[in-house]
Amino acid sequence: MSKERPTPTPPEQATDRLFATERKPEDFRFDASVARVFPDMIRRSVPGYTTIIPMIEVITEQYAQSGSNCYDLGCSLGASTLAMRHGIDDNDCQLFGVDNSAAMIERCEHYIALDDSSLPVTLRCEDILDTELSNASVTTLNFTLQFVPPEQRAELLARIASATRPGGVLILSEKIRFESEQEQEIQTRLHHEFKRANGYSDLEISQKRSAIEQVLIPETLAAHRERLLSAGFDQVMLWYQCFNFVSMLAIKAD
């Protein structure tokens, strides 16, 4: 007797108004209230996010190797995970999404169930600093490393590099800061204008800025490049930039 699979229902999605009214200063956390509005928040906050996601599919298509593991570290609701899933055309790959926010992982399960690809995805509610990594061809850190304490970043990248097969890659997207104070000021202003154009008020922009100040620590492009090379990658290239948001490709030689 065949059992019919119930049609999965999409999780309720809301507009991000988390910082619209005055609130007591608190560090930003990926809790249930953020998870509920996250698709709207990240699209309206990160210039280029809606371009980067489909390009993760394109890059994965190029670098995923048969018989390997692919990891999305800090997968949130699975937007980057699903892009990787669609880029993998070999059912012999194993795809893992890792996030330490239970609220994100719970919702992510629904989005994975709604997606039409048949490639299995294993979700782990774990810290990316402890998660097991091996035999990797494509690993993605899409706006996640920036939330890892700076002193723990080198060890994580070295672990990713040593788990990566020859010819494999790391896709690293980050908010960056600039060496020149003047450029920092201009790019930050343009980013805030982007947010304003997407309907965020001055109060929302300034309250969000204070909330992320201690938890999202941007570094310069040069610092990222140097650390990726010391971690064990052989080539680092910038493939995307919009204002102070970038994405890099770090490649392990064949």
Ligand X SMILES: O=C(O)C(=O)C[C@]1(C(=O)O)C=C[C@@H](O)C=C1
Ligand Y SMILES: C[S@@+](CC[C@H](N)C(=O)[O-])C[C@H]1O[C@@H](n2cnc3c(N)ncnc32)[C@H](O)[C@@H]1O
Residue 76 to residue 107: CA distance in whole angstroms: 9
The answer to whether the CB of 48 falls within 8 A of the CB of 240 is: yes
For 237, phi then psi, to 5°, come to: -130, 145
Beta carbon of residue 28, minimum distance to ligand Y (angstroms, whole number): 10
Does residue 107 belong to the site contacting ligand X (CB under 6 A)? no
Q: Which does 175 bind (CB under 5 to 8 A by kind): ligand Y, ligand X, none?
A: ligand X
188 CB-contact burial (10 Å; exposed 0-12 / middle 13-18 / buried 19+): middle
Among 36, 107, 159, 175, binds ligand X (CB under 6 A): 175
Among 19, 96, 143, 233, binds ligand X (CB under 6 A): 143
128 is an annotated ligand-binding site residue? yes
Residue 135 to residue 131: CA distance in whole angstroms: 14
Does residue 101 belong to the site contacting ligand Y (CB under 6 A)? yes
Write out the two tokens for 179: 């060496």
DSSP state for residue 100 in the 8-state scheme: S
Does residue 129 belong to the site contacting ligand Y (CB under 6 A)? yes
Residue 246 to residue 237: CA distance in whole angstroms: 11
Among 31, 89, 127, 183, binds ligand Y (CB under 6 A): 127
Among 19, 35, 36, 41, binds ligand X (CB under 6 A): 41
Of the candidate spans 37-45, 97-105, 109-117, 224-232, the one that interacts with ligand X by CB under 6 A turns out to be: 37-45
Of the candidate spans 5-13, 138-146, 180-188, 220-228, the one that interacts with ligand Y by CB under 6 A turns out to be: 138-146
Q: Which does 128 bind (CB under 5 to 8 A by kind): ligand X, ligand Y, none?
A: ligand Y
Among 18, 35, 42, 98, binds ligand X (CB under 6 A): 42
Q: Under rule CB under 6 A, how many of the chain's residues touch ligand Y?
A: 20
Write out the two tokens for 54: 């489909």
- Residue with the two structure tokens 């910082």: 19
Compare residues 134 and 203 and give the one whose CB is closer to ligand X: 203
189 is an annotated ligand-binding site residue? no
**Strand locations in the chain (E):** 69-73, 94-99, 121-125, 136-142, 164-175, 235-242, 245-251
**How far is residue 118 from each of residues 40, 70, 155, 223, measured CA to CA in Å?**
26, 15, 34, 39
202 is an annotated ligand-binding site residue? no
What is the contact surface with ligand Y in residues (CB under 6 A)?
30, 42, 74-76, 79-80, 98-101, 104, 127-129, 142-144, 147-148
What is the contact surface with ligand X in residues (CB under 6 A)?
41-42, 45-46, 143, 175, 208, 212, 216
